[in-house]
Amino acid sequence: MTDAYKKVFGIYEQNYGIPGSVEPGKKYSFGIDYFLKDQKTAMFPYWHSAITARLPQLKEAGKGFNWDLVSFPSFDDKPGFGREIDFHLAMVTPNSKNKKAAYAVLKTLVSEEAQKAMNRGTRITVLKDPALKKEVSVDTKLYEGKNLQGIFTVKPAPLPKATKYDVKLYPYLSEAAKNMAYDKKDINTVLREAEEKANKFIQENK
């Protein structure tokens, strides 16, 4: 029931009020395919590496269209911040039978040579060198003439503090959004119901 959640759900409420955004059959949430393949939404915020992997498939299917990129939108009270970083981890497990070999692979992955090659391909480097931003995905030729540098005009938002209950509580928020979309319940009602269910789950599973 925080102001931050009310603000986010206020955006949901605006979206659900747009004619056609809530479809029969209780469809109110649309993924990247609805933008790229079905081409029924005007814009879609997405991860660079994931969309870079999909663009060649789009071209092969003959479904190319006129598109471009822009920076991730910011909230008024958090200007200059986009979405959080989506980072992938590679680790050597304690029970690995080949720790040294596995660690050598990890060292290779984070080497300057490998990172520069990845950066010119489908994944943005973890290296801090600002000059590398200009080389992002150049070898793919997918972004020629596109505003790819626009994605760097906002900073990543700080990661939220995670708890062991998060995965179990997210469905309550999804249910809240669904109740807004289909049952036209107001923001305060759906968030209060979600909070009550979340608090009950936490109390029962401490």
> What is the number of other CB atoms lying within 10 angstroms of the CB of residue 34?
14
pLDDT in tens, the chain (206 residues): 999 999 999 999 999 999 888 988 778 888 899 899 889 888 999 999 999 999 999 889 888 889 999 999 999 999 999 999 888 888 999 999 999 999 999 999 999 999 999 999 999 999 999 999 999 999 999 999 999 999 999 999 998 899 999 999 999 999 999 999 999 999 999 999 999 999 999 999 98
Residue with tokens 């062991």: 164
Q: Please give the span between the terminal C-alpha atoms of the chain, in angstroms, as a whole number.
A: 21
Would you state the pLDDT for residue 29?
Answer: 86
Is residue 180 within 8 Å of residue 190, measured between CB atoms?
yes
Would you state the pLDDT for residue 30?
Answer: 87
Is residue 58 exposed (0-12), middle (13-18) or buried (19+ Cβ within 10 Å)?
Answer: middle
In whole angstroms, give the CA distance from residue 106 to residue 25.
47
Would you state the pLDDT for residue 68?
Answer: 96
Would you state the pLDDT for residue 114?
Answer: 96
Would you state the pLDDT for residue 63?
Answer: 87
Does pTM surpass 0.75? yes
